[in-house]
Amino acid sequence: METPTPNINQEKSINFTFNEQKYNLIFFTSKNDLTIKCEIFEKNQIFENTFSYETITNMNRYFLMYESIIDIMNELYDFIQDNKITISKDNSNLIMIFKLPNKKFKEATFSLKNKNQMINDEIIILKQKINEQQLEIEDLKKRLLNLENWKNEIMDDQKNNKLNYETIIKDSKIFSNNYQIQFIEKGILKNDMLKNNIISFKLIYQATRDGDSISNFYNKCHNIYHVLLILMTDKGLIFGGYTDLAFIFHKNGATEYIDNNAFVFSINKKKLYPVRTGEKAIRCCFCCCPQFYMKTIYLKPNFLKENNSYTCTAKEGSYIGFNSDYELNDGTQNFKVSELEVFQITFSL
């Protein structure tokens, strides 16, 4: 049997109770050896044994499926967490019996450690660690140099306009893959003045987290420019809109704004709908959340609870490219929101 490649040292510990007796078990790997220390609380006794990879695999062929001593350590750790262990003890030895998945028990014997010997062993280990650390310092210097190189590579990636899609998907409850984000990015970069910029997405509002009232929305989004609004309906449809302008709360009345760079979009249809040049793009007022004009996307208060938000017919809105009425909502006027998110978009060269 071929000996596996030595592993980096690792350590794990676990407290458990067996037959009303409390134990602390410490696993430590060194090269291809596994050392197990078992301390019996309240009795001030410690038992210890070291097993090589070959010894463990010879004890039971079940462990041949693992390529490293660390994998075996993790498996034994799981056995203890799952209470698949029995323990017996005499004056000088402690015997652990692990119940393996093949329903066979296998025992491992641990000898009682002399306290002076334990101290000497610890001294030896500490000296070894000091020597190892001298070598690790050189290794850390090399790793630091590699990190500097990786940092430069990351900066180069940013210059090539690559987004950190994983972070966006992790923060969002709507975006689920890179292609959805790239689709939005291409829409924003259709503006010739921005095509050489790097885009960053920052989640500033999430309805299920922050609330779906008008005050909840504006507390997070008021007066923030360059915003992307994206929502998912209870039918699983995903659509939204982008504007260079800010959603501004007005205590009285309403205000409409022109933004020639604004657009709405459908993720499901993979389609962008730009605003007509010179026409109003968004509307903000005190009685409802912002809308993409005219009622292309109209969000009523408490949109998570009510089926009263809606979109408009193909002829009513300020956005072009619709082939049918209520196209964003798959042909239906009203919709209920299951999640709505607003991202602030920032640009850098």
User: Contact at 8 Å (CB) between 199 and 349?
Assistant: no
Question: Under DSSP, is residue 31 helix (H, G, I), strand (E, B) or coil?
Answer: strand
What does the domain layout of the chain look like in residue ranges?
A: 7-113, 165-348
CATH class of 7-113: mainly beta
Q: Which of 124, 102, 116 is nearest to 46 (CA)?
A: 116
Q: How far apart are CA 188 and CA 193, in angstroms?
A: 10
- One-character DSSP codes across 173-192: SS--SHHHHHHHHHHHTTST
| pLDDT per residue as tens, the chain (349 positions) | 445 555 567 889 999 888 888 888 899 898 889 998 888 887 778 888 888 888 888 877 788 888 889 998 998 898 888 888 888 877 678 888 887 776 555 555 555 554 555 566 667 777 777 877 877 787 787 778 877 776 666 565 554 445 578 889 999 999 999 999 999 998 998 877 777 778 889 999 999 999 999 999 999 999 999 999 999 999 999 999 999 999 998 888 888 999 999 999 999 999 999 999 999 999 998 888 889 988 899 999 899 999 999 999 988 889 999 999 999 999 999 999 999 999 999 987 7
Write out the DSSP string of 59-73. H-GGGGG-SSHHHHH
Alpha-carbon span 21 to 31, nearest angstrom: 32
**Per-residue b or e along 84-119, where b marks 16 or more CB atoms closer than 10 Å to that residue's CB:** ebebebeeeebebebeeeeeeeeebebeebeeeeee
Rounded-to-integer distance, Cα 252 and Cα 287, Å: 9
